[in-house]
Amino acid sequence: MVEKIIESLSQNERRIIPYLKEKNVEEISKKSKLDKTSVLRALDYLENKKVIKLDYNKKKKIEAGINGALYKKKGLPERRLLNLLNEKRIIPLEEAQKESNLSEEEFKASIGALKRKAMVDLKNGKLILNSSKEEISKKFPEEKFLELLPLEYESLNPEQKYALASLERRKEIVSIKDVKEIKIEITEIGKKLANHKISEQNLIEVITPNMLKKDSLWKGKKFRRYDMVSIVPEISGGKRHFVNQSMDYARKIWTEMGFKEMTGNMVISSFWNFDALFTPQDHPVREMQDTFFINKSSELSNKKIIEKVRKSHETGVAGSKGWQYKWNEEIAKKMLLRTHTTCLSSQTLTKIKPENLPAKFFAVGRCFRNETMDWSHGFEFNQTEGIVIDPDANFRHLLGYLTQFYKKMGFEKIRVRPSFFPYTEPSLEIDAWQPEKKIWLEIGGAGIFRPEVTEPLLGKAIPVLAWGPGFDRMIMNIFGIKDMREVYKNDLTQLRKLKFLVK
């Protein structure tokens, strides 16, 4: 039994066995000249081989923080202020801060600490000492506590707990960490191993190409036994983030359906985000409550399109009356974080040539809105966008594209209902059934662009099918996530476990 164990020992296990009596990971690491992680792993392997027993004990350890280490050398700020007051008794606040050489934060904390101890008064902008020399000479509980660090939380007496609570209110003076202590107990098998000259045995660890060429390198020698039973650490290989996986999958669906991808900047002018899409300049969606504006304006270069958009807003096109107001170019110049990827559609329409029709485009990208975060909303989110420019396109085609896309994204039960958007007519919204919450959840909007959008941008009013579903809600469905905030949490455990559910 012992011989088999010896033959199965790795190099690291052999190196730490002589030092197991130390019963302290740090000491074993120091004497074996192995890093702590390697020692811990070797200890786990030895436990699996029943050479040792490990007992884990969790404790809270209190150490000095960044400021705490500094105060151990220079003294607490309140002590330095108290020493100054001991010399002058009464001193104006500004002078006290300057002469004590304390930051504004330290100075305020010091006054608060001394007032709680009833050692100073504050009157008419002056600090007044309120303590005897005997009181001043005594060390504060906080000072005594700092001097004793590091300490175990379980060992604190009532005075030390009071001092800790006082120091915790202040920035980076103390740090409390959970520490796992390991107690090593050597088993009977381990004691027998100690009587063998383990380090003198020369076992072959790996097979190399040279060994396969020369028999003399391995014949007559012993190979280390491989342990096929012990549990080894799980290796989590690198993989794409699940949001990127989903976006790649959406791109695959759209390209398989004959679409080309649109791309663009996340910072864009109000003109392309709102005005080109026939959204009036007094619409609530353009207010600060909904949109993240940037303190910057952009010059609008295509004067021909600007004039067409102006006319569309003021008096209308293709028989419409427009919004009947005075359109302001300066408002259109304001920069913002795009609120939807539909701004890419408005820009793309200006680049389409009649000979290239029909045409189909899609986008997948990040958008931003000033929303209150909850399980189904975020102030930043991903959206997928699509347009089909085709003189023969109709509403039934729109429903067909949407139904096919959502089906491939894993939605079994969807419904379409009428809605309103300033830039589409007819307009609709798509809901998906959420069986866990037993509700219909809105996952996107769609419609056919109005002539007030297509005539200024395309040059003529032809049907353009358009949709802009919120993509994060699709991601939640794909991965079985029940709260949108989990999408951006980047929890490593979650990232390792999540598997793509849509085929």
Per-residue confidence in pLDDT tens, the chain, 503 aa:
677 777 778 888 888 888 888 867 888 888 889 998 898 888 888 888 888 898 888 888 999 988 888 888 888 988 988 888 888 889 888 888 888 888 888 888 888 888 888 898 888 888 888 888 888 888 999 999 999 998 888 889 999 999 999 888 888 899 998 888 888 888 888 887 777 766 555 677 778 888 888 887 778 777 777 767 766 667 777 788 888 888 888 899 899 999 999 999 999 999 999 999 999 998 888 887 788 999 988 888 889 999 999 999 999 888 889 999 999 999 999 999 999 999 999 999 999 888 888 999 999 999 998 877 777 777 888 888 999 999 999 999 999 998 888 888 888 788 999 999 899 999 999 988 887 778 888 888 899 999 999 999 998 889 999 998 888 888 887 887 877 788 877 878 788 887 776 65
The secondary structure element, H or E, covering residue 184 is strand 174-186
User: What's the confidence (pLDDT) of residue 444?
Assistant: 84
Closest CA to 302 of 275, 266, 340: 275
What is the strand order of the sheet 439-449 is part of? 260-261, 359-368, 380-389, 464-467, 439-449, 424-434, 414-421
Tokens 């049907």 correspond to 463
Q: Is the dihedral of CA 141, 144, 146, 150 positive or negative?
A: negative
Taking CA atoms, 460 is separated from 130, 212, 359, 378, in Å, by 85, 76, 15, 37
* Cα separation values, 127 from 122, 369, 410, Å: 5, 50, 70
Q: 415 has which bridge partners? A: 431
Rounded to whole angstroms, the Cα distance separating 477 from 409 reads 9
Res 13: pLDDT:
86
Indicate the helix (H) or strand (E) that contains 331: helix 329-333
Report phi then psi at 330, rounded to 5.
Answer: -65, -35
C-alpha–C-alpha distance, residues 439 and 435, integer Å: 7
> How far are the Cα atoms of 8, 46, 189 from residue 42, in angstroms, in the given order?
12, 6, 16
Specify the CATH number of the domain 64-157: 1.10.10
**CATH 3.30.930.10, domain 244-266+339-497, yes or no:** yes
Locate CATH 1.10.10 in the chain: 64-157
CATH 3.30.930.10 domain range(s) in the chain: 244-266+339-497
The string of DSSP codes covering 422-455 is TTEEEEEEEEEEETTTTEEEEEEEEEEE-HHHHH
> Could you tell me the pTM of the whole model?
0.57
In 3D, which of 494, 502, 263 has the Cα closest to residue 406?
A: 502
Distance from C-alpha of 447 to C-alpha of 464, rounded to nearest angstrom: 9
Q: How many whole angstroms separate alpha carbon 149 and alpha carbon 143?
A: 10
At CA 100, angle to CA 98 and CA 102, rounded to 5? Answer: 80
- The answer to whether residues 127 and 96 touch, using CB atoms and an 8 Å cutoff, is yes
Q: Which residues lie across from 183 on neighbouring strands?
A: 55
Distance separating alpha carbons of residues 384 and 367, to the nearest angstrom: 10
In tens, the pLDDT along 167-203 reads 888 888 999 988 888 888 888 888 877 777 665 556 7
The angle at the Cα of 242, spanning 240 to 248, to the nearest 5 degrees, equals 75
Which amino acid would we find at residue 262?
A: M
- 486 burial (CB, 10 Å; 0-12 / 13-18 / 19+) is middle
Closest CA to 39 of 7, 12, 10: 12
**Using CB atoms within 10 A of its CB, is residue 434 exposed (0-12), middle (13-18) or buried (19+)?**
middle
| DSSP letters spanning 7-37 | HH--HHHHHHGGGGGG--HHHHHHHHT--HH
Taking only the tens place, the pLDDT of each residue in 212-253 is 888 877 787 777 777 677 666 677 777 888 888 888 888 998
Angle at 208 between CA 203 and CA 209, to 5 degrees: 150
DSSP notation for 201-250: ---B----HHHHH-GGGTTT-PBPPP-SSS--PPP------HHHHHHHHH
Report the pLDDT value the prediction gives residue 397, as an integer from 0 to 100. Answer: 93
Identify the burial level of 340 via C-beta atoms within 10 angstroms of its C-beta, where 0-12 means exposed, 13-18 middle and 19 or more buried. Answer: buried
Specify whether the CB–CB gap between 395 and 424 falls below 8 A: no
